[in-house]
Amino acid sequence: MICIRLFQWGIFVALSFVGCKSEPQNQDQKSIEKGIERIDVTEHYVSDSYHKRHDGFDWVAVSVKHHGDESLWVSVRSRADQKKPTCTYDTKAFRIDKNTYESTYDGKRIRFEFFPTSLTISTENPDDSNMLYFFCNGGATLAGHYGKIDGELDTQQIDLTTFSKVLNLQGIGFNVSSIEKDNKNTLTIFTFGLENRDYNETFTIEGQVVIDAEVEDLNSDGSPELFVYTQSVGSGSYGNIFAFSVNAKKSMSQVYFPPTSENPKINSGYRGHDAFTIVENTLSQRFPIYKEGDTNASPTGGTRQVSYTLVEGEAMRQLKVLDITEY
């Protein structure tokens, strides 16, 4: 098996995790560590077998970074130089107390509990623990205890997948992944559950990284839409969307998203730093407004929020500006 809304803004969080389940931390150590003040969790954490990697042992790692004041981005990666990666999982996790964060998958909560030198992954409800096998293969699970390390992960062994997410809606599944290889980023999307033929395409996304993906039935026709959010590499961090629409659950086709920089309705004062999310049945975009003379780090024109609706176009469906709000 494969081991694994709200505007949140901030820095990217990556978790890398080891493929084998580690021994749980003893209760005395947990009690001591849990009594501390809020700690800096933005580190790499690994399973015990990481330290035996040069002897051929499989391993999983968890890399964590901030994604706003109250959230993290968690990315689980594992060894990939010998065989198919053991575990792969990317998620946003939201803070529930000073050192505990949770993400949600299929209505169930996955818990990330941080200590000064370690991280424990579990489910909020112990009866849901079997779901943590979904994100791994070979009988491995995300559940377990991981130790913090100094420095970077072993770049010669780690899985080069930069983003991975599996989504489901209305009986249709979407597997979204991005990998960096030979200094090039690619985006691969394949579906499962379409009646006529499943979609399987790879796109070259030069100068961009995938930061998230969501599904929603934006036009309420009984079939879902997929939205993959990317961001340019560099100080501007210009956002873009790869959007797709399922046609009567039979096939899937791409949706046109008008580039913000080319859209005169909304591009005044636009210099990137935008982000996207689904709000009910609209796609929402938010970005700072720059005035003449503003530096890249200090916009002074406030914030613009743009809502898009999905409409039929001559050649393909497209996202059309529905509403613009500034504050």
pLDDT tens digits, one per residue of 200-256: 999 999 889 999 999 999 999 999 999 999 999 877 789 999 999 999 999 999 999
pLDDT value for 4: 38
pLDDT tens-digit map of 100-158: 999 998 889 999 999 999 999 999 999 999 999 999 988 999 999 999 999 999 989 99
The Cα–Cα gap between 167 and 278 comes to: 14
The Cα–Cα gap between 139 and 59 comes to: 13
Q: With bands split at pLDDT 50, 70 and 90, how would you rate the model's confidence at 11?
A: very low
The Cα–Cα gap between 88 and 132 comes to: 11
Stretch 179-194: mean pLDDT, rounded? 89
55-64, 154-163, 186-195: segment of lowest average pLDDT: 154-163
Percent of the chain at pLDDT > 90 equals 72
Strand order in the sheet with 303-311: 275-279, 282-288, 303-311, 318-326
222 closest CA partner among 174, 173, 171: 171
Mean pLDDT taken over the chain: 87
pLDDT value for 31: 41
pLDDT value for 37: 64
Q: Are 233 and 207 in contact (CB under 8 A)?
A: yes
Q: Report helix, strand or coil for 42.
A: coil
Look at residue 13 and tell me whether its pLDDT is greater than 80.
no
pLDDT value for 66: 85
Q: Report helix, strand or coil for 270.
A: coil
The Cα–Cα gap between 75 and 228 comes to: 17
Look at residue 2 and tell me whether its pLDDT is greater than 60.
no
Q: With bands split at pLDDT 50, 70 and 90, how would you rate the model's confidence at 20?
A: very low
pLDDT value for 106: 83
pLDDT value for 184: 83
pLDDT value for 16: 39
The Cα–Cα gap between 23 and 301 comes to: 52
pLDDT tens-digit map of 251-264: 999 999 999 999 99
